[in-house]
Structure 1
């Protein structure tokens, strides 16, 4: 039982005199004491190690973006080991599944990466949706499907992920998974640029100058 909770005897005494709403709150605290205790028992060290080795600079869930790792610099083997250990401690943290996916992705184990990204996406990670779209777009040791790539980019963009907005714009710009659409490309490049995505600003300038098919890449 969590130390911050009332002792059971005290809860019962107070509940007798308190209104119904207070009795409900007290009962929930008593019943959930072990839940709070288990949250505090999670090993912060394993989670921090995974974060330090595999978090993405553009992931809104990253706890410290100044310590995040660019994909090209990610050390895949230790990152995968650390993130698997962290997930065993805190399986509910979506960013850990996303970061494990990045580690597998860096190794080229793209089927494993997809499974990790899907778990992260199911838990609500917009960043994972971006990387699933990239897997489908590139098709390296994985299914190549531009229509699915565009669909995942759309989900990430509509979830408010600036990297997803950029990727969705590249789909309209370069006719990935559908017809080109200069207006839509400008719209989503603009949204990403407003949120600080430098490459989106650069692509928007090229689009204004050259029209569609700027060659901007999402990878």
Structure 2
């Protein structure tokens, strides 16, 4: 297996539209960071223009808890057009663990991710609008983005939409 394939095998996210094989992805909690960091660093060196490799390297660093390194890898992937990286940058800012906490920056990154058309970004932006993360709650806008994410197959967005309709903003949902 080559370096790019190794990185893909060890760190592709199930919800990343850039993942080369949707059947061969790995959930974040199952990711083995030491092996993934090594494989993805080698893959990035081999193919530095492939945004998915930078994103996957970011996931590996993120899983390791090296959030500044994760941010740098995600930022490079985002510069290359990765909506998935934008989602994860937003999560880093929202959580603020071993990283700057800024709900306003989180919301802005989620918006950017949503506007790329990635369903996970749409969901995260809707959650921010719903719960007033980084700004005032906005039920109408949250509803719009939950609907868009639902139309693209995001089950948790459909469930969130029902909660929003029944209970109004402030559902307490999370994007992570």
Question: So what's the TM-score if we normalise by structure 1?
Answer: 0.79
Aligned residue in 2 for 1:51: 8
2:146 matches 1:180: no
**Offset from partner CA, 1:92-130 (integer Å, 9 cap, x none):** 111000000000000110000000000101111111000
**CA–CA separation in structure 2 for the residues paired with 1:216 and 1:199:** 10
DSSP 3-state at the match of 1:92: coil
Aligned residue in 1 for 2:98: 141
Aligned residue in 1 for 2:68: 111
TM-superposed CA distance for 1:158, in Å, is 0.4
DSSP 3-state at the match of 2:23: helix
Aligned residue in 2 for 1:194: 151
**CA–CA separation in structure 1 for the residues paired with 2:171 and 2:161:** 9
TM-superposed CA distance for 1:215, in Å, is 1.2
Aligned residue in 1 for 2:113: 156
**CA–CA separation in structure 2 for the residues paired with 1:197 and 1:61:** 17
**Offset from partner CA, 1:110-158 (integer Å, 9 cap, x none):** 0000000001011111110000000000000000000000000000000
**CA–CA separation in structure 1 for the residues paired with 2:56 and 2:164:** 33
Higher relative contact order (CA 8 A, sep 6+): 2
* Residues 11-26 of structure 1: pairs in structure 2 closer than 5 A: none
2:50 matches 1:97: no
Which one of the candidate residues 164, 168, 173 is aligned to 1:207?
164
Aligned residue in 2 for 1:129: 86
Q: Which has the larger radius of gyration?
A: 1
**CA–CA separation in structure 1 for the residues paired with 2:80 and 2:130:** 30
Q: Which runs of 4+ in 1 moved over 6 A?
A: none
**CA–CA separation in structure 1 for the residues paired with 2:45 and 2:70:** 17
**CA–CA separation in structure 2 for the residues paired with 1:178 and 1:160:** 22
CA-based RMSD: 0.8
DSSP 3-state at the match of 2:123: helix
TM-superposed CA distance for 1:80, in Å, is 0.5
Aligned residue in 2 for 1:31: none
**CA–CA separation in structure 2 for the residues paired with 1:125 and 1:111:** 18
TM-superposed CA distance for 1:88, in Å, is 1.2
Equivalent pairs, count: 176
